[in-house]
Amino acid sequence: MTEPNNNMTSQVLTEALPYIRRFHGTTVVIKYGGNAMTEAALKDSFAADVVLMKLVGINPVVVHGGGPQIGELLSRLNIESTFVNGMRVTDSATMDVVQMVLGGLVNPEIVSLINTHGGRAVGVTGKDGNLIQAEKMPMTSASNDAGASAPEIIDIGHVGRITNVQVDVLDTLVRSEFIPVIAPVGVGKNGESFNINADIVAGAVAQALGAEKLVLLTNTPGILNAEEETISSLEKAEVEALIADGTISEGMLPKVDCALDAVTGGVDSVTIVDGRVPHALLLEVFTDSGVGTQILSQQVDHA
């Protein structure tokens, strides 16, 4: 049996104590996706991290994705997946699959995983209690025709834009012993269903709850500089400059836009975290170094 390294253990615990004090009683919203959602060991470490956060007095709220699982079932049903500007075109048949996968398969699996690790998770979709209210997302594309008078309007089906987050249900759960796990399906004013990007839902929920922190689990180390090195912390203005000069581009842009919206909307900080690292949540929340890139509305010193 390997002897424990008592010095290392005590160092880790000592480093964690200030963060436990700082975040005690606050809400942390976690967008759960990527490898952390598909690899068995990472799934277990994620669930254990969430339960530990609740046990030390933090209120975690989980918003999950499910794009790969949706794509897999659509393929098995011979329904073609089409994307416009990164958004899945969602006709009625695809929307049925989205709800089936997110609400009927992925959400219950995450709830069960957290409960197996000693938590008390409760699964909801954005339709429960009118939690995530939405409307059809307008999508336009600039026409290639120089003589065109207006951009082309593209119908991408049941893809939603959030109009309101009704937080009564979440407030009740967050202030109790329960851990909410939210599937990113919204509801329209006539009861229709909308498919909504999970990052966007997580950001909107964080703002509505007045969360202290939003954590976006991804398959990247964070925001990289021109030398491909992870940037540990950025102010809002610095992020905007990196977007302007092209350092932040392509796949990272939607997550960064979500982060900027959240800090602008009152969330203290947003961290883009490498979910491929075991116990990434604990490392981010309870250590000095963290894992990934933290985005702040302005630079603050919590020491």
Domains of the chain by start residue, with CATH: 26-296 (3.40.1160.10)
186 Ramachandran zone, left/alpha/beta (phi>0; psi -120 to 50): beta
104 pLDDT exceeds 60?
yes
Give per-residue pLDDT as tens, 75-93: 999 998 888 877 889 999 9
pLDDT at 303: 37
Distances (CA, A) of 191 to 161, 196, 225: 15, 15, 44
Instruction: Find, among 161, 182, 152, the residue nearest to 90 by Cα.
Output: 161
Q: What is the mean pLDDT of residues 253-273?
A: 90
> What is the tens place of the pLDDT at every residue in 150-186?
667 788 889 999 999 999 989 888 888 899 999 999 9
Tell me the C-alpha distance between 266 and 261, whole Å: 9
Taking only the tens place, the pLDDT of each residue in 187-199 is 999 999 999 999 9
For the whole model, what pTM was predicted?
A: 0.89
Looking at residues 123-128, what average pLDDT do you find?
A: 95
At residue 208 the predicted structure's pLDDT band, cuts being 50, 70 and 90, is very high
Contacts of 261 (CB under 8 A, 6+ apart): 203, 207
pLDDT at 141 over 80: no
CA–CA dist 176, 189 (Å, integer)? 29
For the cut 80, the answer to whether the pLDDT of residue 21 exceeds it is yes
- Give the lowest-confidence range in 31-35, 80-84, 148-152, 238-242: 148-152
